[in-house]
Amino acid sequence: MRRLAGLFFLSGISGLIFQVIWFRRLALVFGVTSYALGIVLASYMAGLAIGSVAGGRLADRRRDLFRVYGLVEIAIAALGLSVLPLISLVQWLYVRVAPGLVDQPTLLSFLRFALSFAVMIPATACMGATLPVGVRAYNSRESHGVSVLYAANTAGAVVGVLAGGFVLLGVFGLTATSLVAAALNVACAAGAAALWRASKAQQTASPDAAPSAAATQPLSRAEVGVLASLFFAGFAALAYEVIWTRLFSVLAFEIVYGYAVMLAVLLAGVALGSALYGTRPVTVNRAVSHIVWLQMGIGVLAAALPLVLKPLANDTLTAGARSWPGIAGLVSRCPSCVSMLPGLLVVVFVSSALSGAAMPAAARVLTGGGQGWATRLGVGYAGNLVGGALGSLVAGFFLLPRFGAHASLLVVAFVNIAIGAGLALATRRRALAGAVVAGGLIAIAPSVLDTATLDVYRTVVSARLSTARIPWYREGLESSVAVAETADDRFLLINGAIHSASSGLYYHRWLGHLGAIAHPDPKDALVIGLGGGATAGAMALHPGLRVHVVELSEGVVEAARHMLTDDNYHLLSRQNVTRAVDDGRNHLLVSGRTYDIIEADIVEPRHAGASVLYSYEYFDSARRALKPGGIMVQWLGSPNSDAYRWTLNTFRRVFPYVSLWIGGGDVGIGSMTPLPPLDRRRLEQMFQDPALRQALIDARLDDVEKILAMKHADSTPPLPGPILTDDRPVLEYFVTLPFVTRRAFRR
């Protein structure tokens, strides 16, 4: 058993690494909108579910299951390595088909699902088959067998999250890390081959070990109830993950390591709960009761989260109310976050441990009814996966945007209470059902009755900002957006990260004016990322220039329209401005439009997912979308950092002509032809337009000489050395940058 558990541990590492890589790569094709990522998740889970059902049926009909398990692991390695090349083929096809479906979102969504499902289904089906095949190979109907293997596989996933999130992706990149994952699957296959050879001498003709037909007898009440509970438990588990991720991102400043830590804690809880449940045998009847109480416990704990976080925020609010120097202080000083993060993680861990214990308890019921038990186990696991996919979609697309994190948390907690009560009623345990309902409602009542005080999202945002007032916030489909104010500043926060501040608006306005000034005769401009709208707002004031803004979050658009109009010169009400809620890279990929100017609002490269706006592929797609003589304006950051040097070197690889502007050269302008010198006469004419003149003054460009001084230097040609690619998203994995400097980019 230990050797098989070791193989499941390695397989868990591989599976999680593959999942992260595939999701990241498909996001570059379909975009990072919630709809696109939700479709990818649904196709991934569907593949696992199909494999689980097929694996269970296969396991009930084969004797050489260790051999089958080894072949499945070999298939995962081979098919897993094929996914990245297939995604490149998918991108080629998608770019040619998607432009004709832009106005038909339903067909476009179906296309995304079909393509991602086709790419991942072979590998994910094999992954889904491993649990029923492995459990049947161990030949255990007790909860112990399922708990040990499930716990080992989940513990491997924890290692995969931490190794991939902190080391492998940042240092080696997607392709090389895929090879590591495949090597682990090959090692599992080799171990399974050894187990198969050892098992051949021990095979007997016992009914349980021999091949058998799938069960034909009707399912018992307990089995039907447990199958339903697995589906809804999967729904609740993934819904919680979506909600917790949104809350955690606020406290963890939207960095990739924050999500890795949260997911690792969640999976560690599942692994521990599963392992602990299997330490002693239980009867089927007791397993049903355990599931009822476990589901109630999950719901009660989730409902208690606002009660846990509120005192932590209040206890540290005084400490966090000290004076801090602007944005740097907001980012670096958050005593309340330090207290609230452990509180959130404890709730996530304990809740996940209860969820992890429920899986082997359910398996004990499903495997206790005679022949064909592996088939029932496979169906149950598949139902759990399908429910998880549905829960993720409902929470992300419906609950959070419509009701917010607090109400969504309570709704899902009620689902857990209903699961426990429903299973108790299905097995004719009415007293137990009544106790679950009564206890659950009592636990949920405080958070329902005192929503205004305990609102969980407002609590975490308040802790994040300490002394700031929050006059407006929206929990939207793509992100949670807040506008916060202090006595002398105003901030726009997206998922807890500060994206603009009124004290720094002049710099954003610089960027907006720069493109319109540097291009001799601009007509069409694209701004990727709206933020507070200061960059696009300054650009839109230049006569004759049409500005198209692509912003991922509708909440950001709403904030810019209603709360930040003074910052962006009423950008969204201007007739020369159009906007789209979409992923900027996906827009470049499929829109077919071309522009005189392309630039992105300032996005910190350390934010999760931000490195896709600093890669060679992104710059190249922008180059292809430029009209003849067009320019791309790119914020490069601090000239003293590795991120600056690598971004500039990558920018130079795409554009043969690059000039550096503003201050120490922290903004680059790239073009395919030499950029003409600034026309003094044209600049003087700009100051004749009253509105444009005031906007230039707001950007601290109050005379022609200051504008002429914006150019810092003409860049040198590309230098040998590192370039940033989609395959190596190193900028957001900043903890591993020293390793990258010494090893991964060495030439």
Per-residue pLDDT at 740: 57
Of the listed ranges 150-154, 485-489, 527-531, the least confidently predicted one is 485-489
Q: Is the pLDDT of residue 444 over 90?
A: no
Of the listed ranges 564-568, 640-644, 662-666, the least confidently predicted one is 662-666
Which residue in the block uniquely carries the two structure tokens 């307990």? 222
CB 52 within 8 A of CB 608: no
**For 193-327, where are the E strands, in sequence order?**
none
Q: Is the pLDDT of residue 253 over 80?
A: no
Domains along the sequence of the chain with CATH: 1-200 (1.20.1250.20), 220-467 (1.20.1250), 503-744 (3.40.50.150)
CA within 13 Å, CB half, 73: 30
Question: How far apart, in whole angstroms, are the C-alpha atoms of residue 470 and residue 666?
Answer: 32
CB 17 within 8 A of CB 160: yes
Spatial CA neighbour of 416 closest among 354, 464, 478: 354
CB 517 within 8 A of CB 587: no
* Residue 464 CA: distances (Å) to CA of 7, 114, 196, 498: 42, 41, 55, 10
Question: How far apart, in whole angstroms, are the C-alpha atoms of residue 360 and residue 664?
Answer: 60
Per-residue pLDDT at 467: 63
Question: How far apart, in whole angstroms, are the C-alpha atoms of residue 232 and residue 235?
Answer: 5
Spatial CA neighbour of 356 closest among 269, 284, 419: 269
Q: Is the pLDDT of residue 700 over 50?
A: yes
DSSP string, 494-512: ETTEEEEEGGGHHHHHHHH
The arithmetic mean of pLDDT across residues 20-35, rounded, is 80
Which residue in the block uniquely carries the two structure tokens 């924890």? 158
Task: Quote the Cα angle for 425-427-430, to 5°.
Answer: 40
Question: How far apart, in whole angstroms, are the C-alpha atoms of residue 733 and residue 740?
Answer: 10
Average pLDDT, the chain: 85
How many C-beta neighbours within 10 Å does residue 467 have?
15
The arithmetic mean of pLDDT across residues 721-743, rounded, is 73
Residue 744 burial (C-beta neighbours within 10 Å; 0-12, 13-18, 19+): middle
Q: Positive or negative CA dihedral for 529, 635, 484, 560?
A: negative
DSSP string, 20-58: HHHHHHHHHHH-SSHHHHHHHHHHHHHHHHHHHHHHHHH
Q: Is the pLDDT of residue 315 over 60?
A: no
DSSP string, 275-293: HHHTTS---HHHHHHHHHH
Q: In what order do the strands lie in the sheet with 490-494?
A: 469-475, 480-485, 490-494, 497-501
Per-residue pLDDT at 470: 84
Question: How far apart, in whole angstroms, are the C-alpha atoms of residue 699 and residue 702?
Answer: 8
Question: How far apart, in whole angstroms, are the C-alpha atoms of residue 36 and residue 27?
Answer: 7
Name the pairing type of β-strands 497-501 and 626-635.
unpaired
Q: Is the pLDDT of residue 461 over 80?
A: no
Of the listed ranges 3-7, 201-205, 269-273, the least confidently predicted one is 201-205
Structure-block tokens of residue 728: 């190596």
* pLDDT tens digits for range 256-313: 777 888 889 999 999 999 999 887 788 889 999 999 999 999 999 998 888 887 777 6
Task: Quote the Cα angle for 647-653-654, to 5°.
Answer: 95
Structure-block tokens of residue 336: 């309340």
CB 2 within 8 A of CB 138: no
CB 54 within 8 A of CB 377: no
What are the phi and psi torsion angles at 8 (to 5°)?
A: -65, -35
| DSSP 3-state of 583 | coil
Q: What is the 3-state secondary structure (H, E, C) of 424-447?
A: HHHCCCHHHHHHHHHHHHHHHHHH
pTM: 0.86
